[in-house]
Structures are given as C-alpha cells and as structure tokens.
Amino acid sequence: MAKVKDRPAEEVAADYRRHDEIESNPQSRELFESEQPQLDDVQREIVGDLNTQGFAMVPFSRLFSQELWNEMFAEAQEFEREMERQLQGGTEPVNAKKPKPGKPVKEKAFMGRRYKKDPLTLDSPWLRLGGSDRMLGIVNTYLGMLSKLSYADQWYSPPRGSEASRLGSMRWHRDYNDQHLVKVFIYMCDVDEGTGPLQYVPGSARGGPYAGEWPWAPAGETYPPQEEFEQRIPDTAVQTFTGPAGSMIFCNTSGFHRGGFATERPRNVWVYNYVSPAALVALVDRNFDIGNGALGELSDVERFALT
C-alpha cells in the first residue's frame, strides 16, 4: 500500500525531494560509484537500450540460463492453474455490483495477484532472482545508484472480451513509485495483441520529448484524461511489447504505459519494481517480507536491495 494514502500531498512531496536531493539518494550514488559492477555484453546492451529508449526487451535465456528458465516457468505454472480453477469455479473475471435505480453498473477489473495476502519471502526463487546481482547490476547501472527492490509478484489477467472497457492500469498512466524507476516484466505465456501486452511511450520518462506531458511528480496525478492523452501523443509514439513466453522487458515506468487489457487469452506475468532509496522512505511500502532469511548469504548489493 502506498505511503501517500494518509498524508497530505505537499508533505509527501517535500519528504521525497529531501531524500532524493539530500538524505538518501546522494549516499546511494556514492556507494554505487565506489564499486561499480562489471557488466557483460548482454547487461550492457540492456542498459544501453534503457538509456536511449527507456526500455529494453531480451529473452530470459540470454540473461540467465535456459535451465533456470525451465525451473522458474514450471514453478510459476501452479498459480496459473489455481487461477483457472477459481474462475471455472464461478469467480467472475469482471465483477459488477447491482446498480441503484437509474445508475449504470460499475465495472471492476479482475487480476489475480499471487502474493496479495501472503507475502513473498526469501525462500522464493523468484525473490532471489529479482534481488540477484545480475538483475541489480543492470538496474543500478541505469539508475546510477544502488536501488531497492520494492515489489515482486505474479499477475494473472483473464480475458475480458473485445467489448470490455479499459480499467485501472489498463489505461495510460505513469507509475507513482518514483522518478528513478525500473519495472521488469517477465512473460510467462505467449503474449500477442489479444493477451494484454505492455504498451509504452518511449521518451515520456524524465528527459524525453514527452516528459512534459502531465509530468511525473511525487504524490502527483498519474492518470491523465485518456481522450486528451490520445490527442496529444500519437499512435506512432507507442511501443507494443508482444512476444513469446520468457520475454523480459525492462522499462522506466515513470513514463507512460498501460497493459493487461486481455481480450482473447489470459495474460500471466511476473513483475518487479526497483526504486531509489528516497521512494522507499517516502512513497512506497514493500509487498514482501524477508523476515529472518539468510541475509548472510547475500552480497552487499543484494542485501542493500532487499532491506
């Protein structure tokens, strides 16, 4: 749950800026500069694409091994099967309350989150993957500081039909989490136009040509008027990420993006959020709990990211 919920927006913004400019992020940059990671060709390619485009797409098996992908894919399938069992048992993918007389039905989009109730812990191979030096080497180099992993979960979006409307994060928005932000999506199924692919506007993060359109701000409004958005940002500026299972997308989602609008087939995806220390102090809470996990087995960079 966001830390901005119960505090005045002005207070949240001031807190974030203080930690971004003075208290937290400068020290994180110093730590990164003191011992920068040695990247291989694949990692450097991803960082280069993030710097020039705000996104990078790579097969999982280029960054990690095919054997690891096989293990992770098999581990993630149980959640998909559980979601399918729930839906077949009568849970509606789109819920609608009975309207009051004269008022329309209000749609709610269904999306299964694997760790919505029970937090992810350090014994999960997925949390260890997200907090690994190999992932952090990319994220930290792009951000120019040691980052914090703030969120890790598996999402399942059932198809809603071609007549459904876009709701929630299916609409164009900026993530509120941070302006120093990397989100990583790992497709656990083949994703085409009918499977709710991620869409992104390159150049809409800080420093890009579209950064000034409803610009990111701490505790700011993240969803612009959708009709106005489509008038001001052309279709030709939109990148759509279709791809086979095992596709990894690194993306600065402080820029405009949307996804999960599955109309024909379900979408199954793993998601990681990486933020600066300032965001973890002022804007967001983690959705996982490392508890008394084996922190001694982690490198300094991994420990920094997970604590």
- Return the closest-CA partner of residue 291 out of 56, 127, 101: 127
Helices (H), 233-296: 277-282
Residue 70 to residues 64, 164, 230, 245, 267, Cα–Cα distance (Å):
11, 34, 40, 11, 19
If you search the block for the tokens 């014994």, which residue do you land on? 123
Tokens of 71: 């293990």
Alpha helices (runs of H) in 125-239, residue ranges in sequence order:
125-130, 133-143, 226-232
In order, the DSSP letters of 70-131 are: HHHHHHHHHHHHHHHHHHHTT--SEEEPPPPTT-PPPEEE--EETTSSSPB-TT-HHHHHHT
Query: In b/e form, how buried is each residue of 181-194, taking b as 16+ CB within 10 angstroms?
Result: bbbbbbbbbebeee
Q: What is the pLDDT of residue 117?
A: 80
Provide the pLDDT confidence category of residue 93 given band limits of 50, 70 and 90: very low
Residue 90: band (very low, low, confident or very high) from pLDDT cuts 50, 70, 90:
low
Domains in the chain, ordered, with CATH? 9-31+43-87+109-290 (2.60.120.620)
SS3 category, 231: helix
Tell me the pTM.
0.91
Q: Of the candidates 124, 116, 141, which has an alpha carbon nearest to the alpha carbon of residue 47?
A: 141
Question: pLDDT tens digits, residue range 15-53?
Answer: 999 999 999 999 999 999 999 999 999 999 999 999 999
pLDDT tens column, 181-239: 999 999 999 999 999 999 999 999 988 999 999 999 998 889 999 999 999 999 999 99
Q: 150 with 240: CB under 8 angstroms?
A: no
**Mean pLDDT value across the chain:** 90
| Structural contact between residues 155 and 269, judged by C-beta atoms closer than 8 angstroms | yes
Q: Running DSSP on this structure, what letter comes out for residue 182?
A: E
- Percentage of residues of the chain with pLDDT beyond 70: 92
102 has a pLDDT exceeding 90: no
How many CA within 13 A on the CB side of residue 104?
A: 3
Give residues with Cβ within 8 angstroms of 104, minimum separation 6: none
Residue 6 reports pLDDT greater than 90: no
**Spatial contact of 12 and 218, defined as CB atoms under 8 Å apart:** yes
Cα radius of gyration (the chain): 19
Q: Say how far apart CA 234 and CA 164 lie, in whole Å.
A: 23
Q: At what angle do helices 133-143 and 41-53 cross, to 10 degrees?
A: 40
* DSSP conformation letters of 195-208: B--EEE-TT-STTS
Confidence of residue 103 (pLDDT cuts 50, 70, 90): very low
Please report the pLDDT score of residue 104 as a whole number: 41
Structure tokens given for 138: 């990319």
pLDDT of residue 162: 84
β-sheet bridge partners, residue 248: 58, 186
